[in-house]
Amino acid sequence: MRLPKAGTIEIAPSILSADFARLADEIAEIESAGVNIVHLDVMDGHFVPNITIGPQVIAKLRKYSNLVFDTHLMISEPAKYAKAFVEAGADHITFHIEVADDPEKLIDRLHELGVTAGICLNPETPVEQVEAVAPLCDMVLVMTVRPGFGAQEFMLEAAKKIAQIRKIVGPNIRIEVDGGINPQTTPIVVSYGADTLVAGNAIFAKSDRIAAINAIRGASK
């Protein structure tokens, strides 16, 4: 599966707020709502103060879904584990600039391994830190909460970086936004230039996930 080319708005539900005991069913439900991407949050308890899933869970899920596996590595040593996530079935891998020793090298390596690559920056991280590598990526991920947990409050100041990054990368690279995205915050981030909207709590905390996805979709237009 390939990340859709830039030019469309995509909603990427984050499984962080899903029922982890029923992940395959939860993903099937959002697939039936017509999304193309599922956002998989990988946390190591070191880069962020929470622990989620690793390559083994992703490999099992791969058998149940044809969605693009957008894999957000919130881990301290992304280069060490990149290959394991590709082998597990990740389609797109995002790592954090704050822990990347040689981001250009890791982007090249991900491309060689056959996946698309993303760089992510935390709310406190200035745009200047990703300026050189953002144009080499397929997607840039802007955090609008501190990574680690779902259902946190959207940080408007962090979202403003989307507009700066859009100027740097032009129209052909996706900009994804992650944290506090719901029908109220969607128009703001879309106006700044985001085209890939991660939403966890706004979808999986609702009993009608399809209606929740449609509400975000409607707000993005």
Binding mask 24-63 for ligand DX5 (x = CB under 6 A): ---------------x-x----------------------
Pick one of ligand DX5, Zn ion, none as the site partner of residue 199 (Cβ within 5 to 8 A by kind): ligand DX5
- List, in sequence order, every residue forming a beta bridge with 119; answer none if it has no partner: 95, 140
- List, in sequence order, every residue forming a beta bridge with 90; answer none if it has no partner: none
Whole-angstrom distance, CA of residue 211 vs CA of residue 215: 6
Please choose, out of 85-93, 121-129, 142-150, 211-219, the segment that lies near ligand DX5 by the rule CB under 6 A.
142-150
Binding mask 162-201 for ligand DX5 (x = CB under 6 A): ----------------xxxx----------------xxxx
Cβ proximity to ligand DX5: between 118 and 150 the closer is: 150
R_g (Cα) of the chain, nearest Å = 16
| Interaction between residue 161 and ligand DX5 (CB under 6 A) | no
Cβ proximity to ligand DX5: between 107 and 198 the closer is: 198
Pick one of ligand DX5, Zn ion, none as the site partner of residue 17 (Cβ within 5 to 8 A by kind): ligand DX5
| Interaction between residue 178 and Zn ion (CB under 5 A) | yes
| Interaction between residue 14 and ligand DX5 (CB under 6 A) | yes
Whole-angstrom distance, CA of residue 137 vs CA of residue 201: 27
Whole-angstrom distance, CA of residue 35 vs CA of residue 25: 15
Catalytic site positions: 41, 178
Structure letter (DSSP) for residue 16: G
**Nearest partner of 14 among 160, 194, 5, 35, judged by Cα:** 35
Burial of 120 (0-12, 13-18, 19+ CB in 10 A): buried
| Interaction between residue 72 and Zn ion (CB under 5 A) | yes
| Interaction between residue 41 and Zn ion (CB under 5 A) | yes
Residue type, 187: P
Task: Kindly give the residue spans of alpha helices, DSSP state H, lying in 54-144.
Answer: 55-62, 78-88, 103-113
Residues near Zn ion (CB under 5 A) are: 41, 72, 178
Residues found near ligand DX5 in the complex (CB under 6 A): 14, 16-17, 39, 41, 72, 145, 147-148, 150-152, 178-181, 198-202
